[in-house]
Amino acid sequence: MGSQLSSSSSSTLLLSLISAFLILLEIPPSHSNELYSSCSNLFSCGSIKDVGYPFWGGIRASGCGYPDLELSCENNTTAKIVIASVDYQVLGVYPETQVLKISRQDYANGLCPSKFTNTTLDPALLDLAPGYINFTMVYGCPPNGVLNIPGKFTCNINGIASNDGYTLLGNHGAGICFSSVVVPVSQALLTDIGNSSNSLPKVLQEGFEVSLKADYAACEDCTSSNGVCGYDSSVNQTTCYCADQSSGSRTCSPSSAAGPQGQSKDQGPKCSVGCPLEFQIASSQKPGQRILLQIASIA
């Protein structure tokens, strides 16, 4: 009888402890802490998962990444990015190699886009990755009697009599033709183009990779001090948001103990044995579960 009573009163205590913690966790973040919490979120859309710095967009506020690296999600299935006014589908984000893989949306359905726009990359932020080359499609060229010129294709352009187009390696202007478009392609896929399972439209849909020249070193310093990386566009610099609401310095002070959930490069708790309870709450992916376990082990 006595032992039943004490076990039921200890489970009541347990329940009230749990609800106290859950209430604590539901307090909305204070304004100055919004970026720490927003940038702890990762962007996911379709097959693109858990993207953090140097990108922003979706549930990540604009202070979480470089202004030109905004991701969006179309139909809950397709991640998109706009670079120099050209729409791209995001095919992959590889933080380990600091690479982004994209393909031009206007070439998703063939070689004939509704308007002709070059691929332009800001060299301060994006470089064509090794293995990819510039490739030019020229449109609306005067008819040429010769059949079977390699790289010849057909595209009807409104108001233009000729629908002959040609492909060329490297960057080229339109010359005697109506327009030209430079699109990077995979050198390996291009070489393989005679192969029946490969074709020029497919090579364009396979996209290309760009190296991101973000300040990963600054971000690494930030995450290793348990901060969350962001970008301060008032000074054009990578910045660090801390759990103690400070920001602007390169690292967080040791007192801001919480570990971020946000950086895909640096997931999971750093502290594994004898960690302070706040640490475990802040670094747990499922706070409720972690607290239950913690309290159960105290009881």
Ligand X SMILES: *[C@@H]1O[C@H](CO)[C@@H](O)[C@H](O)[C@H]1NC(C)=O
Residues in contact with ligand X by the rule CB under 6 A: 74-78, 116-118, 128, 133-134, 171, 173-174, 179-182, 192, 195, 197-198, 235-236
By C-beta, is 21 or 88 nearer to ligand X? 88
Task: Judge whether 238 and 262 are in contact, CB under 8 Å.
Answer: no
By C-beta, is 134 or 211 nearer to ligand X? 134
What amino acid occupies position 110?
Answer: G
Q: How far is the CB of 61 from ligand X (least distance, A)?
A: 18
Rounded CA-CA distance 82/128 in Å is 16
By C-beta, is 176 or 273 nearer to ligand X? 176
Rounded CA-CA distance 172/233 in Å is 35
Rounded CA-CA distance 35/247 in Å is 9
Q: How far is the CB of 188 from ligand X (least distance, A)?
A: 8
By C-beta, is 21 or 66 nearer to ligand X? 66
Which residue is nearest to ligand X, using beta carbons? 173
By C-beta, is 172 or 290 nearer to ligand X? 172
Q: How far is the CB of 94 from ligand X (least distance, A)?
A: 19
Q: How far is the CB of 98 from ligand X (least distance, A)?
A: 17
Q: How far is the CB of 16 from ligand X (least distance, A)?
A: 33
